Amino acid sequence: MKDTIRQLIQHALARLADDGVLPPGAAPAIQVDDTKDKSHGDFASNIAMVLAKPAGLKPRDLAEKLLAALPADPQISKVEIAGPGFLNFTQDGQALARRLDAALQDARLGVRKGSPAQRVVVDLSSPNLAKEMHVGHLRSTIIGDAVSRVLEFLGDEVIRQNHVGDWGTQFGMLLAYLQEKPEAGETDLADLEGFYRAAKQRFDESPAFADHARELVVQLQAGEPECMRLWRRFNAISLSHCQQAYDRLNVKLAPADVRGESTYNDDLANVVGDLRDAGLLVESDGAQCVFLDEFRNAEGNPLPVIVQKAGGGYLYASTDLAATRYRSRVLKADRALYFVDQRQALHFQQVFEVARRAGFVHPGMQLEHMGFGTMNGADGKPFKTRDGGTVKLIDLLDEAQARAYALVKEKNPALAEDELRHIARVVGIGSVKYADLSKHRSSDYSFNFDHMLSFEGNTAPYLLYAYTRVASVFRKLGRDDAGDLPGRIRLDAPHEQELAARLAQFGEVLVQVGEKGTPHTLCGYLYDLAGLFSSFYEHCPILAAGDEATQQSRLRLAALTGRTLRQGLELLGLETLERM
């Protein structure tokens, strides 16, 4: 709807430009918002205020001219001028009802695919394999997963890339430890975190061990077979831990999506060579660097992007440069989205800029760092275990599930054990994910079990429960919401109209999530929808509706709400329950 209104305004602007009312070439972004008070229309645009000055008119006068120039549209029943010069649009109730009736017939709920479809590389999760996945990787994993799902639903081709850290000097230490304790290797590796700590301790206390570890790094880089065998084994075990976490989190990531840092090793010398040929390299203290004018330190001196160390070693940035050109040339991406901690913002700005200058990516390719903030504990400080260690992701999920179990059992002691466990899993995992997804990704947030498991507010339990309420409407009528429902949607009561207007916005919300990489917009939308359904249900009886046509209409609205909630939650990577 907002898109339609934008197009109408666009038309009006073009007409006024032709008539000389507006200066030629003025093409501002047209903002269309939901109105707070629906008695003044459903949508409002401030365009007349934005263009009043360049047009040399008072906002209200410009609004008058725009109003006269607006083409008619069957979906809009009324346009009015309000306040200082807002254009307020009222949606046509019958057109809206018809749209929702059509959505009900459609497996895509009336959401159109974007055209043209794009090929989008999504860089997500990407933990370092030397250690166990910790809570910090939750965000890159689930935010990236949700955005990938939304883009796919909108028709894009998504190529997931799990850019795991599977290379680097810390592997020398780990391999040395694995060699030292071959028998214990398998069992100790069940606890990667403990293994890492033990290896680090040996490294710190024994100079001989440390020397050997360094020697193994050299051998690994030279591709020495025994070393490579150990390295592969280590990574396979570490990756299987990650895969367990993905499966448990209901995240669509598979072993085939892994393309770790090491896969670019053979290309790193070319990257450096090509940068040299492009005239971008400068040697500084023996290191190969690219200096970009726009990145300077506090003293105003240009910051180097180091691509090769004085000793010949490569860096994180070198690998990322190789990855950008793989994503452009081989994967032929139109867009590449990087779901990585906000603290790496400078790194990505630099990598993207160097990649562009060197021609590693085709000029039309979008490179976007979708940064996210830190996950803190309930106390607002970085999330740690009681003894100050990093919190393992798996432990966190175990605890969420255990807490959900206790909660559900208390609410519903009569449930069979199997069902109780199933509900606890869906609620527990869903709560952890939803708490994260519902916050704007760029802000830090506090992890708090009590909040996320609450049945009130913008939480997973609230939404899952809202969905079961819709399901129960159908159960009470002795049927489920499947197949064709008779009748038509009629929008008479204000609560019906409000719910309907929000239902019709599902598609545009998804487009926004896909463009900006912000699942919290979808969470906010679903939360709103659940609230509107609740008021509708309270004010517009379904089971006790006076006549059959009204009951059918309301049931159809309920069905579309249920389907939208389920589809929305699925796109966020949450499972739903029929009862809880």
| Amino acid symbol at 450 | D
Cα–Cα dist 442/446, whole Å:
13
Residue among 131 and 490 whose Cβ is closer to ligand ARG:
131
Q: Which residue is nearest to ligand ARG (CB)?
A: 126
How many Å separate Cα 460 from the centre of its chain? Answer: 16
Binding string, residues 304-343; x marks residues near ligand ARG by CB under 6 A: ----------------x--x--------------x-x---
Give yes or no for residue 369 binding ligand ARG (CB under 6 A): no
The structure tokens listed for 423 are 């509900």
Give yes or no for residue 126 binding ligand ARG (CB under 6 A): yes
What's the longest Cα–Cα distance across the chain?
Answer: 87
Is 531:499 a contact under the CB 8 Å cutoff? no
Listed residue (39, 25, 23, 29) closest to 9, CA to CA? 29
DSSP 136-201: HHHHHHHHHHHHHHHHHHTT-EEEEEB--B--STHHHHHHHHHHH-HHHHHHHTTSHHHHHHHHHH
Cα–Cα dist 96/490, whole Å:
9
Cα–Cα dist 13/313, whole Å:
58
Residue among 333 and 511 whose Cβ is closer to ligand ARG:
333
| Helix (H/G/I), strand (E/B), else coil: 297 | coil
Give yes or no for residue 555 binding ligand ARG (CB under 6 A): no
| Contact residue for ligand ARG among 149, 163, 335, 502 (CB under 6 A) | 163
We find the least distance from the C-beta atom of residue 123 to ligand ARG, in angstroms, to be: 5
We find the least distance from the C-beta atom of residue 323 to ligand ARG, in angstroms, to be: 6
We find the least distance from the C-beta atom of residue 349 to ligand ARG, in angstroms, to be: 13
Binding range to ligand ARG, per CB under 6 A, among 2-10, 66-74, 121-129, 551-559:
121-129
Binding range to ligand ARG, per CB under 6 A, among 69-77, 125-133, 147-155, 212-220:
125-133
Binding range to ligand ARG, per CB under 6 A, among 123-131, 193-201, 354-362, 380-388:
123-131
Give yes or no for residue 128 binding ligand ARG (CB under 6 A): yes
Give yes or no for residue 517 binding ligand ARG (CB under 6 A): no
Residues in Cβ contact with 271 at an 8 Å cutoff, skipping those fewer than 6 apart: 307, 318, 321, 322, 325, 360
Residue among 126 and 552 whose Cβ is closer to ligand ARG:
126
Give yes or no for residue 127 binding ligand ARG (CB under 6 A): yes
H/E stretch holding 369: strand 366-369
Cα–Cα dist 104/12, whole Å:
33
Residue among 340 and 355 whose Cβ is closer to ligand ARG:
340
Residue among 162 and 458 whose Cβ is closer to ligand ARG:
162
DSSP 210-256: HHHHHHHHHHHHTT-HHHHHHHHHHHHHHHHHHHHHHHHHT----GG
The structure tokens listed for 134 are 């910790």
Give yes or no for residue 371 binding ligand ARG (CB under 6 A): no
Give yes or no for residue 123 binding ligand ARG (CB under 6 A): yes
We find the least distance from the C-beta atom of residue 171 to ligand ARG, in angstroms, to be: 14
Give yes or no for residue 131 binding ligand ARG (CB under 6 A): no
Residue among 177 and 338 whose Cβ is closer to ligand ARG:
338
Binding range to ligand ARG, per CB under 6 A, among 120-128, 227-235, 248-256, 481-489:
120-128
| Residues at the contact surface with ligand ARG, assessed by CB under 6 A | 123, 126-128, 163, 165, 320, 323, 338, 340
